[in-house]
């Protein structure tokens, strides 16, 4: 193995370790809350024109598609309200209303903490 390969392997290991540390720092939703990530907003339109920063900010705030990262310990536990079981699971993309949830920004990524009953639908991966 060459020095370049060894350095690349060490760098990849460090990146993986940093990603693991960041994941540990995500908030744990409590009760009936769900932690969701806002998918990255494209920085340009389909025709190649760049979006203004304000436009990207508005799109990020008003997005209706979220990625479910973590469920709270009581999410969908109420059998009377959710007789057919959970409406979504970790790893799903969901549809919610614009401006739903508590917004937080971690490591340059927008996150939302929403209530379990605010999930409108599960959708296919929008990417």
Number of residues that make up the chain? 127
Q: Which two tokens stand for residue 42?
A: 């494209």
CA distance 97 to 9: 43
Q: Which two tokens stand for residue 67?
A: 């990625």
- The whole model's pTM is what? 0.74
Backbone φ and ψ for 51, nearest 5 degrees, come out as: -85, 145
From first to last of the 127 residues of the chain, give the pLDDT tens digit. Answer: 565 556 556 666 555 555 555 556 789 999 999 999 998 877 778 888 888 888 888 878 888 999 999 999 999 999 999 999 999 999 999 999 998 999 998 888 889 999 999 999 999 888 7
Q: For residue 94, how far is the Cα from the chain centroid?
A: 10
Backbone φ and ψ for 49, nearest 5 degrees, come out as: -75, 135
């Amino acid at each position: 193995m060459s020095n370049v390969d060894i350095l690349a392997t060490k760098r990849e290991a460090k990146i993986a370790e940093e990603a693991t540390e960041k994941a540990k720092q995500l908030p744990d939703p409590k009760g009936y809350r769900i932690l969701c990530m806002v998918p990255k907003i494209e920085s340009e339109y389909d025709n190649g024109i760049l979006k203004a920063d304000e436009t990207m900010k508005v799109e990020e705030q008003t997005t209706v598609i979220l990625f479910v990262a973590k469920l709270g310990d009581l999410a969908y536990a109420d059998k009377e309200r959710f007789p057919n079981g959970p409406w979504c699971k970790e790893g799903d993309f969901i549809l919610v209303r614009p401006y739903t949830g508590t917004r937080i920004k971690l490591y340059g990524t927008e996150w939302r903490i929403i209530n379990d009953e605010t999930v409108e639908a599960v959708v296919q991966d929008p990417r």
